[in-house]
A and B are shown apart, each in its own frame.
Chain A
Amino acid sequence: MRIDARYASVRRVAKALCFLCLAGQGAADAREPYASTYKVPDHPPVLIEDATLLTGTGARIDGADIMLSDGMIDAVGIDLDGSKNGLIRIDGTGLWVTPGLIDVHSHLGNYPAPSVASTADGNEITGPNTAHVWAEHSVWPQDPQFGLARAGGVTALMILPGSANLFGGRTVTLKNVPGRSVYDMKFPDAPHGLKVACGENPKRVYGERLQAPMTRMGNVAGYRRAWIDAEAYRDSWRRYHEQLAKHEAALEQDMEDDPPASPQPPKRDLGLETLAGVLDGEIPVHIHCYRADEMLVMLDIAKEFNYEVSTFHHAVESYKIADHLAQEGVCSAVWADWWGFKLEAWDMVVENAALIDKAGACAIIHSDDPHDIQRLNQEAAKAMAAGQRRGMDIDEADAIRWITQKPAEAMGIDDVTGTLEAGKAADIVLWNTNPMSVYARAEQVFIDGALVYDRGAPSRGNVSDFDLGQTYLGTRP
């Protein structure tokens, strides 16, 4: 039996709250705390005709149509039926269509613009293990950077805590839609992730304070101790649930005499709940890690405690161990060409993504940056060209997967988005030319079939509250 302590306890709290609201207000909102409030908007059906499609599955289809209706990709093909009522037809001649871009590593909302001390909400640098914090509780939905990323074609993104701590906390996956609350943006049913950081950052931050960890061996000891605590915590909840089940069974079977005493639940611990969620396979692990040798150590820790690593982030040296990463099924989320800002980022090669891909491992291009998230396509293009320069057989149909299908897999949302396939969410970008060109711009962006960005007609959704009153509004964005 697989019991997720986190979900069990959250549900219990939610139930208790719901009794209160039923009693107090009558009509109850059945929403659990911290659950998504996003709803697929109504939209007219859309047919884009005669465009070049990069499907995100590795295919390029020229002169193809794509139909969006009821929030979904209805069909992809040649000469689709355009007779639907109220259909909006878009002539895609000369235009390119890709899945909505997905960024597996972003700090929009928790390091928003304006970037001032009072908005720096990404790094809870108060202890090396802050597995108890949730990135979503720092996300400011009015961050103007969301709209700019939307204009760059980004339809979903994962917001992570920073990398100062060994355990940074829970990540959150968002749909890149305007909202009054982070929960208006939270991607329904997407799992949380756990942010882990290895290497220079934790040991520098805490070492400078003469605290642990001060060294890389201190880093590793810190993870292992935490996982040992997490195992004990998970086991205590398992025992509790076993005892509870026995107790309830006894109550049902034997109503006479003395039923066994009702077991007391262990006290909840938010940090250990997160780590136990990883051990139970509910929370994918995302590790900030640059060096090849350290990534291999991180995989050993995962073996010791029997959990899986989803993705190494930054992963500047993944190309050195691409065979191991392929074998372990671990993704690498890399930059095209960022390097040299610290020693662990010294061994970058621009062929990194191409080499990872060539080895059969999962390659992702990520941004970790509010500028680059606006041009993920260009980052993928640079990484593609680096492979082409070496004679590798890759093209735009391959490279687009690094910013669509592959990050969707890493984030656990690939069953609903990340490719142009019938039945997937209608998260798509319409480009004015080949998106692997520096001259490409997103003309229109759709999320769940709804037009959320139109280059020719900036809308309220792309102007945050913070932007209001600025003198550039009304001019070309």
Chain B
Amino acid sequence: MNMLRRLVCIALAVSPGSLAADSVLIENARLHTVGPQGSLAGDMLVVDGRIEAVGEVGDVSQDVRRIDAKGRPVTPGLFSTLSRIGLVEIDAVMSTSDASVDLPKLGPSVRVEAALNPESIVWRQALVAGVTHTVSAPNFAQTPFAGMSVAIRLGTAKAPVIRRDVSMMVAMGEAGSALSGNSRAGNVALIEQAFADAQEYNAIGRWHEGYAFAPHDLRTLVEAHAAKLPLAILANRASDIRAAVDLVGKVGLPLIIVGGVEAWKVADELAAAEVPVVLFPMSNLPSRFESLGARLDNAVVLFEAGVDFAVFEINPHDTVRFRQSAGNLVAEGLPWDVALESITLAPARIWGLDAESGSLEPGKVADFVIWSGDPLEVTTWPEQVFVAGKPINMRSRQDDLFERYESLPPH
């Protein structure tokens, strides 16, 4: 079916005169709930922007807005586990890139929500690609603390932040070493010292120059400690992952491993310690000495060992690749529904946001997608993205470009 006809279909399916209705019924859908109901054919009722019922929805009032999914798959909006959406527009244009704070002695207290730009072209492109949620994180610059990540809901541009201070981003392994005197030993010492300094500073109430971090950084670490904020620690080598587990044991905070290229080697330990892993599944190159054990089925090993994991795509432009990598995990042996979960519910759960998002369950926000086919395939696309139960405008700048050049002028 061509694009125009499909747009017309959707326009027709969205019945006119229903703008005032606060109820939406998605009919005739293949619902992949990623919740207790699993996958089923049926309807989904949305009331006041939240999911009311899934599957059998019972009697529905006449003035409900009805949208026929025509048997196509419906999934929760994708949750881009860890990205720079809203922080980076064009990587090489420094004035559009706010991910890294390139200052000495500034790390833990960096909070990126002030830099978020919901008007961003990249943001909109992610949304029309089916990404309704992400955790945007600062990048490492001069210290092994990059600062706090923030959770955002892409469809609510005016107030996109759904949680500040989701996790504190910390670098260990090669990246951490490079920011800590070029040694992993220095890295561990620096991180531990930062927490010890924070405690001392909190106790005596006076900052002195011997501290490695500025007063507001130390205050942030105290707050993080009080709030039991998870440390999202970049670690890839098996020994670095173990070191991260040891370190959080000492500082007394929850741990989320980011990267985790060799996590499969320590899968049983991670399962026992209940440490989740946020990973980029396509990492199968021994491109660093900390990733010599890289393999495509890392996530499959973690799944089989009972480790919670989610897929991430840090590059804000690569939102199609985000679901593509989940599809590849199926080819490597992961069950299909687990792969879908790894880009929807699993990130929500790992970041502690699953009460509101990540699955099609009554009570959750109604951010979801109707797909043209299997959402993990590379040959499918989002037919329609919904935010709070309402179909969004699916146009993006790329549509404008396409239409301008679809037919070239004679020359």
Contacts and interface: CB of A to CB of B under 8 A. Distances in A.
Contacts of A388: 379
A350 B293 CA distance: 34
B2 A391 contact: yes
Contact of A439 (B4, B89, B331): B331
Nearest to A475: B295
Contacts of A347: 401
- Chain A CB within 10 A, most for which of B317, B372, B380: B317
Contacts of A389: 3, 372, 381
B317 A391 contact: no
Given A340-B91, A438-B327, 11 more contacts: A148-B285, A338-B318, A340-B316, A348-B398, A355-B402, A355-B405, A378-B378, A381-B378, A382-B320, A391-B3, A437-B379
B288 A438 contact: no
Contact of A145 (B285, B318, B380): B285
B366 to A, nearest CB: 25
Contact of A436 (B92, B287, B295, B379): B379
A341 B327 contact: no
A331 B318 CA distance: 25
A144 B288 CA distance: 12
B306 to A, nearest CB: 19
A343 B77 CA distance: 29
A148 B328 contact: no
Contacts of B295: 472, 475-477
Interface string B290-316: 001101010000000000000000011
Interface residues on A, range: 35 or more
A337 B330 contact: no
A342 B405 contact: no
A279 interface: no
B92 A323 contact: no
Given A371-B285, A390-B402, A438-B330, A385 B93 contact: no
B377 interface: yes
B265 interface: yes
The 6 closest A-B pairs by CB, nearest first: A391-B2, A438-B327, A342-B92, A340-B317, A385-B379, A113-B287
Interface stretch (A43-51, A175-183, A300-308, A463-471): A463-471
A148 B296 CA distance: 11
Contact of B293 (A144, A342, A470, A476): A470
B91 A378 contact: no
Interface residues on B, range: 35 or more
B286 A144 contact: yes
Contacts of B316: 340
Given A113-B287, A348-B398, A466-B286, A319 B405 contact: yes
B289 A114 contact: yes
Contacts of A144: 285-286
The main secondary structure of chain B at its interface with chain A is loop
B1 interface: yes
A378 B326 CA distance: 13
A476 to B, nearest CB: 6
Interface string B373-405: 000111111000000000000000010011001
A322 interface: yes
The main secondary structure of chain A at its interface with chain B is loop
B303 to A, nearest CB: 14
Contacts of A148: 284-285
B90 A341 contact: yes
Interface in B81-95: 89-93
17 contacts: A144-B285, A319-B402, A323-B411, A341-B92, A341-B317, A342-B91, A349-B401, A355-B406, A359-B408, A381-B379, A382-B320, A391-B1, A391-B5, A437-B379, A438-B328, A438-B376, A471-B293
Interface string B65-89: 0000000000000000000000001
B324 interface: yes
A339 interface: yes
A132 to B, nearest CB: 29
Contact of B91 (A322, A323, A341, A371): A341
A123 to B, nearest CB: 16
A471 B262 CA distance: 10
Interface in A54-98: none
Contact of B288 (A114, A324, A355): A114
A299 to B, nearest CB: 13
A467 B286 contact: yes
Given A471-B265, A471-B293, A370 B331 contact: no
A375 interface: yes
Nearest to B288: A114
B376 A340 contact: no
B220 to A, nearest CB: 31
Nearest to A359: B408
A340 B324 CA distance: 19
Nearest to A374: B284
Nearest to B327: A438
Nearest to B264: A472
A389 to B, nearest CB: 6
Nearest to B320: A337
Contacts of B324: 378, 382, 438
Contact of B402 (A115, A338, A349, A382): A349
A251 to B, nearest CB: 56
Interface string B317-337: 110110010011011000000
Interface in A424-464: 436-441
Contacts of B1: 391
A239 B91 CA distance: 51
Interface string A373-402: 011001001101100111100000000000
Contacts of A200: 92
Contacts of A466: 286
